[in-house]
Amino acid sequence: MIRFIKGIFHPGLNSSVIIESASGLGFEVSIPANSVLYKHTEGEQVKVFTSMIVKEDDVSLYGFSDKESLELFELLITVNGVGAKAGMALMSALPPSELRRAIASGDVKAISSANGVGKKTAERLILELKDKVGTFEDDAAMAAGDVYVPVTDERSEAIAALVALGYSKNEAMEAIGKVKENDLTCEDYIKHALKYLF
């Protein structure tokens, strides 16, 4: 089982990228359409967390910028009728924090906005996963201590980007939690957070 790949980033076809390992092998990895991994340029070093799915006639790798996104994807595909394709559609339609929140709050409309995911599948996801999903908000609040810091999509993206750069999730959340300004862009949150990380 391949759980992560560290290597040189190359753009792939459609919704995939190629990660060239130190041994010279090129792994084709399918990633969500909204992944921060797309922000990397060719030749950059990256670490991609992967789920390897083996079928009778196919072996596929699905990649994510952080462990939490990987775990969410693998949780999604435990639901009957939700395969890797639907799982990736869900991960592409909504950022992980929003997807978790949609499942926890029973938001059928948000979940069924994913390509190929209908109302019945959305309802099944909610029924089976409602009590299993956590949120980035809970994690970030803990990382920031007792001080509540609102977690926006930009903050969540910045956390994921810092994890992709090699920082641990806790380090990333703690640094983002120290940035008190709101309504910043993802890039600005990263710039501020890096000051605390160096």
Question: Is residue 6's pLDDT more than 60?
Answer: yes
Per CATH, which fold does 67-140 belong to? DNA polymerase; domain 1 (1.10.150)
Q: What is the pLDDT of residues 104-137, one digit of tens each?
A: 999 999 999 999 999 999 999 999 999 888 644 4
pLDDT of residue 152: 55
DSSP 95: -
Residue ranges per structural domain of the chain:
4-64, 67-140, 154-195
- The CATH label, of 1.10.8.10, 3.30.465.10, 3.40.50.1260, 3.20.20.70, for the domain at 154-195 is 1.10.8.10
Q: What share of the chain is helix, strand, coil (3-state, %, to 5)?
A: 45, 20, 35
- Look over the chain and give the mean of its residue pLDDT values, rounded to a whole number: 85
Domains 67-140 and 154-195 share a fold: no
**Looking at the domain that runs over 4-64, which CATH code has it been given?**
2.40.50.140
Which residues, 6 or more positions from 63, have their beta carbon under 8 angstroms from its beta carbon? 5, 17, 19, 29, 30, 31, 35, 37, 48, 49, 50, 51
In angstroms, what is the C-alpha Rg of the chain? 17
Q: How many CB atoms lie within 10 A of CB 107?
A: 17
Mean of pLDDT values over 90-115 = 92
Classify burial at 165, counting beta carbons within 10 Å of its beta carbon; exposed 0-12, middle 13-18, buried 19 or more: middle
- Count CA atoms closer than 13 A to 128's CA, side-chain side: 14
Q: How confident is the model at residue 149 (pLDDT cuts 50, 70, 90)?
A: very low
pLDDT of residue 138: 52
Angle at alpha carbon of residue 137, lines to 149 and 154, rounded to 5°: 70
Task: Measure CA of the first residue to CA of the last residue in the chain; give whole Å.
Answer: 34
Q: How many CB atoms lie within 10 A of CB 79?
A: 17
Mean of pLDDT values over 176-193 = 84
Q: What is the pLDDT of residues 19-68, one digit of tens each?
A: 999 989 999 999 999 888 888 889 999 999 999 999 888 899 999 999 98
Of 47, 46, 58, 48, the C-alpha closest to 85 is 58
